[in-house]
Amino acid sequence: MSRDAFSALGRRQLDVTLGGLDDLTLVEGARAGSREAAGELFRRHWEPVWKAAYALVGRRALADDIAQEALVRAFGALEQFDATRPLGPWLKRIAVNRAIDELRSERRLRLVEPTESDQAAERREPDDAIVAAVRGLDVGKRLVVVMHFWLGYTVTEVADALAVPAGTVASRLSRALAQLRADLEVERADSA
Amino acid sequence: MPTPLDELIRQAAARLPAPTRNATTRARRAALAALDGGSRRPRSGGRVSLLAAAAVLLAAGAAAGFLLAPSGRTARGAPVLPAGPGFVPANGWNTIATARPRVAVAVAANVDLLDAAVPLLWPQRTLERLPSDGIVLVATLRPKDELRLLEARPSLPLDLRDATMATVRGLTRYSMRGARAGYDIDVDVYFAEPPSAPLLAEAQAELGRLAVPPITIFARPSIVPSPISPQFEPVLLGGSIASRGTPETVTVQANECTFPGWRDIVSETTDDGEWRARVPVATKSAFRAKWKTAVSATVTVQTRPGVNLEQLGRRTWSIRVLAQRSFLDRRARLQRFDVRTGRWKTVKLVRLTEKQRTRGVGVWTYGTARALVRSGSQLRAYVPRQIVGPCYLAGYSIIITAR
């Protein structure tokens, strides 16, 4: 049997085995240097983390960078991961913090102009009305809507993450919902 | 009370677009490189890649910490008993072991161990290159009945004659199950080909060297982030004792850097043979646990000082270092990331000239310096181990962008 066929056979068998393991066991494996265990963790968590990043920043290229960095950071710091807690929320939290930092620094540094390739990619996005409406909110409102409705943060947790008072979060949420309601009604009227 | 709009928004999360295949491939490669502790910068091609590089460097540090995990090697001196269960190496054998929450793994081999750390499932590199007379033993230990396998298991030492034999990826594997000191133990013994009688005898001898101490200890993490890091939190210490059921008292002892002797820091009651304690660690410390007359092996937790970098004016920079002791008159480094070479370059040595004690936290030692740095450069403050050792590892600030 050739070496490649040998590896492929092992890989298939290993995939079956890894698929049945819980995150904690895989984390232990990854901590111990198992690339297979780390690969399975990546397969499970990459897409949710990327979606969280995309929802927050609204741009593919930036979401790619943020989600990638979140996974790089997490895999590099698995030793510090508290194995008594679930892995998914920890990964998303890293991505959320990076996204917030990135949006803040963009506003400060005025690097907000997207590149042409970014714009081309955004134009190809599927046209879900609500996703598009949320993406169209200004950054402050979009962050609170995404964190609260899509990532399951409470108002207090959103306030902590953004370092603003809970009252500010509540009022932003209220204004965002009003704008979304208006945008979606306009959309419905246009399509009628 | 959620409104219909609330529900519509929540449901829309399922319709978010998915990442592209290219982005997925790139991220997978970078994440796995971070796991290896690689120092190459992942090619994300974006604005945050500098921070990603820093994360990879941090990962390298963490990996180095892991390599300090208990291991034994007869070639370089007396055998070292692992903090948890492990193989005591016979002459010419290499062993490595680790104790972690809910699982401990020990590996022994009569060849060089090519895997950097203890693998949970498969010491891949070592087994892929196993010579014809090579032997690798992998023992996985979990608290009894963790896997809910209500089966009778023999006690140690295990006997290869009781093993189940199979061929796995071209290797001959002998598998055995046993129990000892509150652990269910699974041992796999690998040979490159069907073993001769002398090889079986050699494997049996090492199998008999699997030691399970009556009390074990682990520490998580083994390197504590700086006290000003958002990830800073007390260290989780824990382990098992060879008695399940009745609660028992375990006393944790600490030996802090430069502090002579051991002192009791906390007593915990076991729950089904497991004990846990959270302890704040401010400086490099060794820990061990006592149960009745049994004393566990020692685990060491290392720490980093907190480092803060601030731009006070166009050319003025402030570096502050937080630790249990002052670093007065030591020199921290202001560093700029050179995108061309992918390395950090020291822009200025900053002498720490003042100190301020912060109640309950430690001492801030700080200094300011003037340095002209191009606007938009990525900067960090760095205090190397030479100036903060032996009680601290090197410290880094977060990366900031020059105004």
The pLDDT of residue B308 is 92
Within the 213-232 window of chain B, which residues sit less than 8 Å (CB to CB) from chain A? 220-223, 225, 230-231
Looking up tokens 């009227």, which residue turns up? A189
Looking up tokens 């009680």, which residue turns up? B391
In CATH terms, A126-192 corresponds, of 3.40.50.1700, 1.10.150.120, 3.10.180.10, 1.10.10.10, to: 1.10.10.10
Residues of A in contact with B103 (CB under 8 A): 25, 28
Judge whether B353 is closer than 8 Å to chain A, CB to CB. no
Among chain B residues, the shortest Cα distance to A181 is held by B5
In CATH terms, B72-211 corresponds, of 2.60.120, 3.90.175, 3.40.50, 2.30.30, to: 2.60.120
B382 is written with which tokens?
């760095």
The pLDDT of residue A112 is 37
Tens of pLDDT along A174-192?
A: 999 999 888 887 655 555 5
What residues have CB less than 8 Å from B47, skipping those under 6 apart? A62, A65, A102, A111
Judged by CB atoms closer than 8 Å, whether chains meet at A29 and B119 is answered as yes
Beta bridge partners of B165: B174
Looking up tokens 């149960």, which residue turns up? B291
CB count in 10 Å sphere of residue B390 = 10
- Residue closest to A169 by CA, chosen among A141, A127, A131: A141
Which band of pLDDT confidence, cut at 50, 70 and 90, is reported for residue A61?
A: confident
For the domain bounded by B306-401, which CATH number is listed? 2.60.40
How far does A89 lie from chain B, in Å, by closest CA? 15
* φ/ψ bin of B341: left (φ > 0), alpha (ψ from -120 to 50), beta (otherwise): alpha
Backbone angles phi, psi at B98, to 5 degrees: -150, 150
Within the 51-80 window of chain B, which residues sit less than 8 Å (CB to CB) from chain A? 51-52, 55-56, 58-60, 62, 65-66
Judge whether B246 is closer than 8 Å to chain A, CB to CB. no
Residues of A in contact with B44 (CB under 8 A): 64-65, 68-69
The CATH architecture of the domain made up of A1-125 is Orthogonal Bundle (1.10)
Chosen from A9, A15, A44, A65 to mutate, greatest number of chain B CBs within 10 A: A65
CA-CA distance, A118 to A66, in Å (whole number)?
A: 15
Looking up tokens 């490649």, which residue turns up? A4
DSSP 8-state code for residue A113: P
Q: For residues A60-75, give the mean pLDDT.
A: 86
Residues of A in contact with B70 (CB under 8 A): none
Which band of pLDDT confidence, cut at 50, 70 and 90, is reported for residue A139?
A: confident
Interface A-B, measured as beta-carbon pairs within 8 A, has a size of 223
Beta bridge partners of B363: B323, B357
Judged by CB atoms closer than 8 Å, whether chains meet at B15 and A64 is answered as no
Helix (H) or strand (E) holding B370: strand B362-370
A142 is written with which tokens?
């979009």
Residues of B in contact with A49 (CB under 8 A): none
Looking up tokens 């892995």, which residue turns up? A87
Domain boundaries, chain A: 1-125, 126-192
HSE (side-chain half, CA atoms, 13 Å) at A188:
7
Pairing mode, if any, of strands B299-303 and B223-224?
parallel
Cis omega (within 30 of 0) for bond into A114: no
Within the 28-47 window of chain B, which residues sit less than 8 Å (CB to CB) from chain A? 28, 30-37, 42, 44-47
CA angle B117, B104, B272 (to 5 degrees): 160
The pLDDT of residue B67 is 24
The pLDDT of residue B195 is 92
Of A18, A29, A54, the CB nearest to B16: A54
Contacts 24+ apart (CB under 8 A), B312-318: B312/B368, B314/B403, B315/B370, B315/B371, B315/B372, B315/B373, B316/B368, B316/B369, B316/B370, B317/B348, B317/B350, B317/B368, B317/B369, B317/B370, B317/B371, B317/B379, B318/B366, B318/B367, B318/B368
Question: CA of B89: how far to CAs of B86, B100, B222, in Å?
Answer: 9, 21, 24
Judged by CB atoms closer than 8 Å, whether chains meet at A77 and B231 is answered as yes
Q: What is the DSSP string of B55-98?
A: HHHHHHHHHHHHHTS-EEEGGGSS----SSSEEPPPTT-EEEEE
Of B16, B55, B220, the CB nearest to A72: B55
The pLDDT of residue B382 is 94
The pLDDT of residue A126 is 55
Mean pLDDT of chain B: 78
CA-CA distance, B25 to B31, in Å (whole number)?
A: 10
Q: What is the DSSP string of A127-159?
A: --HHHHHHHTS-HHHHHHHIIIIIS---HHHHH
Report yes or no: B119 and B156 within 8 Å, Cβ to Cβ: no
Report yes or no: B9 and A137 within 8 Å, Cβ to Cβ: no
Which band of pLDDT confidence, cut at 50, 70 and 90, is reported for residue A154?
A: confident
The interface pTM score, or ipTM, of the predicted complex is: 0.80
B396 is written with which tokens?
């880094």
| The CA-based dihedral angle spanning residues A85, A86, A92, A97, taken in that order and rounded to the nearest 10 degrees | 0
CA-CA distance, B329 to B208, in Å (whole number)?
A: 55
Burial class (CB in 10 A: 0-12, 13-18, 19+), B114: middle
Among chain B residues, the shortest Cα distance to A112 is held by B47
The answer on pLDDT for A111 being more than 60 is no
Looking up tokens 């306009």, which residue turns up? A186
- Residue closest to B50 by CA, chosen among A121, A171, A79, A102: A102
Residues of B in contact with A84 (CB under 8 A): 101, 236
Tens of pLDDT along A10-37?
A: 444 444 456 667 787 778 777 766 777 8
Of A42, A73, A109, the CB nearest to B28: A42
The CATH architecture of the domain made up of B218-303 is Sandwich (2.60)
B194 is written with which tokens?
């069907």
Backbone angles phi, psi at A110, to 5 degrees: 55, 50
Of A25, A75, A149, the CB nearest to B10: A149
Q: Is the whole-model pTM more than 0.80? A: no
Judged by CB atoms closer than 8 Å, whether chains meet at A125 and B17 is answered as yes
- Residue closest to B109 by CA, chosen among B101, B299, B125, B356: B125
- Residue closest to B304 by CA, chosen among B223, B212, B399, B200: B223
- Any alpha helices (H) in A35-86, and if so which ranges? 35-57, 60-76
How far does B200 lie from chain A, in Å, by closest CA? 25
Backbone angles phi, psi at B215, to 5 degrees: -140, 135
Helix (H) or strand (E) holding B342: none
Report yes or no: B101 and B220 within 8 Å, Cβ to Cβ: yes
Within the 127-146 window of chain B, which residues sit less than 8 Å (CB to CB) from chain A? none
With pLDDT > 90 as the criterion, what percentage of chain A qualifies? 10
Judged by CB atoms closer than 8 Å, whether chains meet at A37 and B120 is answered as yes
Judged by CB atoms closer than 8 Å, whether chains meet at A75 and B35 is answered as yes
What residues have CB less than 8 Å from A11, skipping those under 6 apart? none
The answer on pLDDT for A86 being more than 50 is yes
Judge whether B360 is closer than 8 Å to chain A, CB to CB. no
Question: CA of A92: how far to CAs of A7, A97, A173, B10, B273, in Å?
Answer: 33, 9, 21, 17, 34
How far does B52 lie from chain A, in Å, by closest CA? 5
Judged by CB atoms closer than 8 Å, whether chains meet at A37 and B30 is answered as no
With pLDDT > 70 as the criterion, what percentage of chain A qualifies? 71
Judged by CB atoms closer than 8 Å, whether chains meet at A68 and B116 is answered as no
- For each of chain B's 403 residues, which pLDDT tens digit applies? 678 888 888 888 888 888 988 888 888 888 887 766 533 333 333 333 323 333 332 233 332 222 223 333 332 322 233 356 778 778 888 888 775 555 678 889 999 888 766 655 668 888 888 999 999 999 888 766 544 445 567 777 888 988 888 888 888 999 988 877 667 788 999 999 999 999 999 999 999 888 777 787 878 787 887 777 766 778 888 887 877 778 889 999 999 887 778 889 998 888 877 888 899 888 899 898 998 878 887 788 889 999 999 999 989 999 999 988 889 999 999 999 888 888 899 999 999 998 888 776 688 999 999 999 999 999 999 999 888 878 899 999 988 999 8
